[in-house]
């Protein structure tokens, strides 16, 4: 039994296939060479690997978001300002927890606050719940870095009984929590007049002197627009050596800064002043942008560089209040096309100028004075017509339905070149440059009002600036 069980019976003896073994070894060596090649070029291999994944599994799962370049983001410009800033001017406190005191503005936790005091001291500090910055505060605002358009007009008395000086300056960069003296630095100096002007406005004020001694002229006017905008450390121009009883505002001023050119970059969908994209125009402080989107919503906004725009925007230009807006739209409720022309009555409100029916849609919109449009009908037997918006309909309210375009079915609406129009010429107020302003006129005015003006004391004696100090901004 043992012999029988252990006996190996071979019915057929097979010959070993050496050629097949060689082919197997060669294929393994080729695969090893490919792996070594991939390891030597691991980055390219990884890219190809992920591309293969996209090809293999990405069908029907295409990207739904848009790839767009981003501009440099400054946190203090884009942060949501959901906190309210308050001030107690008499006691000298600023903060977000002083809800019973005077409201200043909306701010964010990372914002800075600029403070001006009656004694001529200025400082910038971080927003906090409650911060003591010194008594007798005369102005508080959220500080904007490198803001050259906000100009401060000031008249101050040098010392307890010294002469009074006037100056215009801006604040672009300072060291946080450091006190800066805006006067000549003498003890008991006091600010007699102060305004903050976000667009470089320059008002006219009336100087009233105290009737003492042999002073003959007790009252005269001074126009800040004739004074140069300089650094905060200059002494300024002397107003008078006599005691000022009070200073009254005679008339509000206009901006003395040149209009700012603003461009729109279609790649980043942002406004800029660096010349990137399409030029929208030159903007003064009160100018606004006209924005219209495909949904038929119109609004005007201030040209702030931090503004974000929607992808369905079809009109972005400088708003001219006297220029009508023309549109052709399809009314989903009535199933007809309508033509309307309207003006924006409330620039601070966003409004819908087509009907609210879900099937309503805007076909074309024009902001020219005399626009033209071509109407192509669905029936081939009907010839295309051209309409003149100015003759077709008068300017009506923004909520008006408009005039019916046609009862026939419309296949296409095309906007044509507008008819020529010469808008009325508006004479702009002559303004000065932001930094270089002729200073001779104000000096002559002050000399005429004060015969004993000392040349050594008047003029532009400058204090030492903090140019060599490292700043936080």
At 113-149, the pLDDT tens digits run 999 999 999 999 999 999 999 999 999 999 988 888 8
CA dihedral 448, 451, 454, 457 (to 10 degrees): -50
- If one compares 472 and 198, the residue with the highest pLDDT of the two is 198
What is the tens place of the pLDDT at every residue in 166-179?
999 999 888 999 99
Instruction: Indicate if the pLDDT at residue 362 is higher than 90.
Output: yes
Considering only CA atoms, give the Rg of the chain: 37
d(CA 289, CA 352): 17
16: pLDDT confidence band, cut at 50, 70 and 90?
low
Domains and CATH numbers, the chain: 75-256+434-449 (no CATH), 260-416 (2.120.10.90)
CA torsion sign for 326, 332, 334, 336 is: positive
Separation in Å, CA 343 to CA 20, 323, 395, 433: 88, 7, 7, 34
Enter the pTM of the model: 0.58
pLDDT score at 300:
94
pLDDT for the residue numbered 77: 57
Write the CA distances from 141 to 78, 86, 125, 264, 421, integer angstroms. 18, 10, 11, 29, 45
Kindly tell me if the per-residue pLDDT of 301 is higher than 80: yes
């Amino acid at each position: 039994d043992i012999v029988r069980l252990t006996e190996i019976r071979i019915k057929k003896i097979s010959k070993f296939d050496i050629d097949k073994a060689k082919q197997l070894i060669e294929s393994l060596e080729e695969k090893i060479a490919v792996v070594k090649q991939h390891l030597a070029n691991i980055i390219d291999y990884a890219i190809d690997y992920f591309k293969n994944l996209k090809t293999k599994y990405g069908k029907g799962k295409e990207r739904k978001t848009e790839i767009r370049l981003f501009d440099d983001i400054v946190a203090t410009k884009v942060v949501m300002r959901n906190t309210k800033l308050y001030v107690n001017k008499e006691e000298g406190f600023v903060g977000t927890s002083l809800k019973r005191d005077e409201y200043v503005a909306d701010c964010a936790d990372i914002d800075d606050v600029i403070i001006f005091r009656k004694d001529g001291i200025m400082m910038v500090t971080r927003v906090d719940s409650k911060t003591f910055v010194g008594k007798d505060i005369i102005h508080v605002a959220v500080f904007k870095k490198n803001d050259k358009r906000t100009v401060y007009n000031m008249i101050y008395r040098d010392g307890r009984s010294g002469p009074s000086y006037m100056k215009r300056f801006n604040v672009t960069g300072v060291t946080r929590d450091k006190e800066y003296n805006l006067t000549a630095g003498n003890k008991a100096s006091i600010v007699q007049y102060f305004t903050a002007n976000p667009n470089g406005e320059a008002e006219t004020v009336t100087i009233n002197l105290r009737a003492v001694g042999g002073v003959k002229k007790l009252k005269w006017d001074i126009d800040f627009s004739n004074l140069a905008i300089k650094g905060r450390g200059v002494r300024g121009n002397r107003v008078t050596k006599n005691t000022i009883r009070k200073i009254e505002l005679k008339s509000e001023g206009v901006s003395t800064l040149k209009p700012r050119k603003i461009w729109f970059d279609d790649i980043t969908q942002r406004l800029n002043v660096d010349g990137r994209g399409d030029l929208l125009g030159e903007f003064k402080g009160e100018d606004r942008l006209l924005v219209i989107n495909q949904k038929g919503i119109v609004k005007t906004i201030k040209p702030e560089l931090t503004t974000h725009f929607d992808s369905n925007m079809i009109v972005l230009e400088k708003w001219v209040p006297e220029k009508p807006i023309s549109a052709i739209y399809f009314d989903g409720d009535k199933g007809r096309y309508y033509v309307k022309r309207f003006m924006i009555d409330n620039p601070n409100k966003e409004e819908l100028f087509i009907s609210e029916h879900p099937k309503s849609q805007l076909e074309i919109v024009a902001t020219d004075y005399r626009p033209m449009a071509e109407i192509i009908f669905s029936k081939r037997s009907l010839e295309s017509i051209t309409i003149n918006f100015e003759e077709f309909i008068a300017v009506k309210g923004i909520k008006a339905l408009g005039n019916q375009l046609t009862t026939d079915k419309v296949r296409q609406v095309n906007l044509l070149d507008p008819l020529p129009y010469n808008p009325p010429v508006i004479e702009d107020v002559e303004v000065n440059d932001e930094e270089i302003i002729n200073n001779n006129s104000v000096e002559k005015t002050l000399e005429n009002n004060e015969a004993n003006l000392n040349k050594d004391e008047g003029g532009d004696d400058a204090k030492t600036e903090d140019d060599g100090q490292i700043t936080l901004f």
